[in-house]
Each structure stands twice: as C-alpha cells, then as structure tokens.
Amino acid sequence: MGKSEAAKSFAKLGVPVFDSDACVHELFVSDEKLKQDIKINFPDATENNEINRAKLGAIVFNSAEKTKQLEALVHPHVREAQEKFLAKYKNKKAPLVAFDIPLLFETGAEQRLDKTLVISASKQTQQQRVLERGGMTKEKFAAILAMQMDDAEKQKRASFVISSENGIEPMQKEIESLIKQLTT
C-alpha cells in the first residue's frame, strides 16, 4: 500500500519511472490494434470505437477467465512499452529505473526485473486508505484483495520491503536510502 506514492518519490528523486497503469490507459486510447482486439473480445465494453474502462472493468472484475483473456490482449503491448522505456534509459546510462507494476508477482513480471520492491502496510491501514477512495466499497476491496497475493508472500519474494504504515515522509526517507544503496 503506497505503491503510487513510492513511484512519485522515485520520480521526485530523479529516477525514471514506468507507470504500467498509465501505459494501459494510454494504450486504450492510442493503440488501434488493441482497441480492435478488445472490441472483438469484449464488445459490450466499447462505444464508438472507444474503450469504456468502467464497462470493461465490470465485465472482468469478478471473472478470473475474463481477466486472463484481457491480460492476454493487454500485457504484450505493455511489455513492449516497458522494453522501449528500458532501452531509452539504458542509452542515457541511467543508473536506476523503476517500474510501477500492479500485480507484479501475480503476473510473473518480477522475472524480468533485477530487483523488486514491495511497499507494505497493515491490513487495517490498507482498508482505511482504500475505502477513502471514491467509489470503493468493502465488497469491492475484498474482491481486489482476493485477486492479489498475500502481503506476507510478496514480502518474502521481494528484494526490498519498505513500510508505508507511518505515512509518506518516513517511506520517502527509506526510498532515498534505497536509491543511494542501489546507485553507489
């Protein structure tokens, strides 16, 4: 909990960050092939050749089969964008880049990375933060958690774990320390 804030912290500290969610949103607008594939596979989620993300989300949200079907369409495009991002910053000799990837371990994306970082908070803190978001309910939050790997398992698999339990400032200090560790 705090993945997005952590990504912002990395960016503020000069680390290029690839935001996978933002990439998907951009692809839904700009990638005509992907839009066509979604229109064919999820016709109720498109209107006037545009993807209606709310409708698409409603279709896939409680269906593991539909989620996998959508991921099979979207993930190759995201991986291609990630590879271009990485190549760009390798050419610029960036000492470090970060990838903000939801469901990192659940999708096996960690296998393409050198190191992984999990931002963690207690279940109570997670629930409190998530329920403060507009349109979120306890039921929807429970469904989201059901799709995710248990936090303890993520922590075991991660190269690094940073707590966001006590807020943004302490987390940012830990991120600063981690960047120094990884770049010196």
Asked whether residue 172 carries a pLDDT value surpassing 90, the answer given is yes
* 1-16+98-184: CATH topology: Rossmann fold (3.40.50)
pLDDT of residue 124: 87
Specify the higher pLDDT residue, 47 or 15: 15
* 17-93: CATH topology: Rossmann fold (3.40.50)
pLDDT of residue 179: 97
CA pair distance 17, 131, nearest whole angstrom: 26
DSSP secondary structure letter of residue 111: G
Find, among 113, 73, 71, 121, the residue nearest to 96 by Cα: 113
In the Cβ-directed half-sphere of 172, how many Cα atoms lie within 13 Å?
9
Assessment of whether the complete model's pTM goes beyond 0.75: yes
pLDDT of residue 37: 96
What would the pLDDT profile of 50-95 be if each residue is shown by its tens digit? 999 999 988 998 788 999 999 999 999 999 999 999 999 999 999 9
Domain boundaries, the chain: 1-16+98-184, 17-93
Q: Average the pLDDT over 20-36 and give the result.
A: 95
Asked whether residue 143 carries a pLDDT value surpassing 80, the answer given is no
Average pLDDT for the chain: 92
Q: Average the pLDDT over 160-170 and give the result.
A: 93
Asked whether residue 146 carries a pLDDT value surpassing 90, the answer given is no
At 3, is the pLDDT very low, low, confident or very high (cuts 50, 70, 90)? confident
Asked whether residue 138 carries a pLDDT value surpassing 90, the answer given is no
Asked whether residue 1 carries a pLDDT value surpassing 70, the answer given is no
What would the pLDDT profile of 41-62 be if each residue is shown by its tens digit? 999 999 888 999 999 988 998 7
Burial of 163: CB neighbours in 10 Å, binned 0-12, 13-18, 19+? middle
Tell me if 1-16+98-184 shares its fold with 17-93. Answer: yes
Degrees, nearest 5: CA angle 164-104-142? 65
pLDDT of residue 169: 93
pLDDT-above-90 percentage for the chain: 71
